[in-house]
Amino acid sequence: MKMAKKQWVEKQCKEIRKPGKNNSKKAYKIIKDLTQQKLSRATTIQDKNGVYLTDEKDITDRWIEYCSDLYKQKTQRDPNIIKSHDTQT
């Protein structure tokens, strides 16, 4: 893996040195990609009780539960809002 990464970095460096017009934008992007620190995503969420979940399956199940709960909620509609909108048009 180290050798493959080294070859990839060398290929990127050759791309930077390649002569041509308007190459600076591409060169800066490659340099940024090579030097930018990679940040990992947070892979935890809380369940209904505030317990942190770290397992991928548990997280997926929690998202399914959360979204299902959103669609199960009954909303109270005010019919006067609809009537007032109909009279304005």
Instruction: Determine the 3-state secondary structure of 10 from DSSP.
Output: helix
Confidence of residue 82 (pLDDT cuts 50, 70, 90): low
Helices 24-35, 2-17: crossing angle, 10 deg rounding: 160
Q: Which tokens sit at 10?
A: 């060398």
Instruction: Estimate to the nearest angstrom the gap between the alpha carbon of 89 and the chain centroid.
Output: 41
pLDDT digits (tens, 9 = 90+) for 1-13: 999 989 998 998 8
pLDDT digits (tens, 9 = 90+) for 19-49: 776 778 888 888 888 888 877 777 889 998 9
Q: Collect all residues with Cβ–Cβ distance below 8 Å to 26 and sequence separation of at least 6.
A: 15, 16
